[in-house]
């Protein structure tokens, strides 16, 4: 299978490229240097020339706070580019697999979110990702929209790496403890998307649509940090355990508002696609073992 991957140098994209090659697929790996997905004519020409069997869009503007003041570029990457990719995928009759976010929800629900819960993003990043979802839904293309959350991986910067750096530099700091979600290992997202891509090549595949995929068990940011710091200490990567204080959201204001509840119900993705939740604790262990 020939797979075109956008955002190939990102946390998920780099894993997609590596894992797809290990599965003996032909990979067309693109980042902004090879393909500007915000340029409609470039997308049409490039994809038309490559003629992939499936497109996986791992490109995104993910700087949540910076997005608040960088609205135009955020919407170009997270919404308009999705429209262009969906249009060309529809034109050449191939499926588009896309990564979205828990941040399309407002976080006020007391239970984990299911796929058809009301959409109400509380920040610009979430609003831009929702607009991308809308373009996908309206395009008529066969698609899988995989909403995920709290992504961390071996490549790039992420929460786990930040926590270990802080733990090595400070004796005491604070982490938010009243926002709940499911941390998700980038390698597991890549594996899930490739499993879906392979299923989608079956002639009778009809399980298109939106799915939730994240890590279990659900935790707060503080619990996520605590696990990573304890593990780093066990591995000798930090010499002492800092005091990590539990903060409320109000105590740690940010430019972009975050939902208090980012937990997503994973029943649909397990039942229809046979995908298990991300084992985020294993992911943290693997990340730190390679640090």
Catalytic residues: 125
Provide the b/e sequence for 72-87 (b: ≥16 CB within 10 Å): eebbbbbbbbbbbbbb
For the chain, give the number of residues.
291
- Residue 209, token pair as written in the block: 């649509």
User: Distances in Å between the alpha carbon of 182 and those of 85, 238, 291?
Assistant: 28, 25, 22
**Which secondary-structure segment (H or E) carries 68?**
none
Phi/psi at 31 (nearest 5 deg)? -125, -170
Provide the b/e sequence for 18-39 (b: ≥16 CB within 10 Å): bbbeeeebebbbbbeeebbbbe
Distance CA 21, CA 196 (A): 16
Please provide the DSSP assignment of 36-58 as one string.
-TT-HHHHHHHHHHH--SEEEE-
Q: Give the HSE-up count for residue 222: Cα atoms under 13 Å, Cβ half-sphere.
A: 16
Give the closest residue to 78 by CA, choosing from 140, 111, 115, 121.
121
Distance CA 32, CA 149 (A): 23
Give the single-character DSSP code of 70.
-
């Amino acid at each position: 299978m020939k797979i075109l991957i956008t955002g190939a140098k990102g946390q998920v994209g780099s894993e997609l490229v590596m894992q797809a090659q290990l599965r003996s697929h032909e990979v067309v790996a693109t980042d902004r240097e090879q393909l500007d997905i915000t340029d409609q004519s470039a997308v049409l020409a490039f994809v038309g020339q490559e003629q992939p069997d499936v497109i996986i869009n791992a490109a995104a503007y993910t700087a949540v706070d910076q997005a608040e003041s960088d609205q135009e570029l955020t919407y170009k990457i997270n919404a308009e580019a999705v429209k262009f990719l969906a249009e060309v995928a529809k034109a050449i009759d191939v499926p588009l697999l896309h990564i979205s976010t828990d941040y399309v929800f407002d976080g006020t629900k007391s239970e984990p979110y299911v796929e058809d819960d009301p959409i109400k993003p509380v920040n610009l990043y979430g609003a831009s990702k929702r607009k991308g979802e809308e373009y996908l839904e309206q395009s008529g293309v066969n698609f899988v929209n995989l909403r995920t959350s709290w992504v961390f991986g071996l490549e790039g910067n992420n929460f786990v790496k930040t926590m270990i750096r802080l733990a090595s530099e400070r004796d005491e700091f604070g982490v938010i403890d009243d926002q709940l979600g499911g941390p998700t290992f980038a390698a597991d997202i890549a594996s899930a998307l490739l499993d879906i891509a392979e299923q989608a090549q079956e002639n009778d595949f009809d399980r298109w649509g939106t799915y939730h995929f994240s890590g279990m068990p659900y935790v707060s940011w503080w619990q996520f940090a605590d696990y990573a710091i304890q593990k780093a200490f066990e591995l000798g990567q930090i010499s002492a355990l800092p005091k990590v204080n539990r903060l409320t959201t109000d105590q740690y204001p940010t430019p972009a508002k975050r939902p208090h509840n980012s937990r997503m119900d994973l029943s649909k993705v397990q039942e229809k696609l046979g995908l298990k939740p991300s084992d985020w604790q294993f992911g943290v262990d693997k990340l730190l073992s390679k640090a």
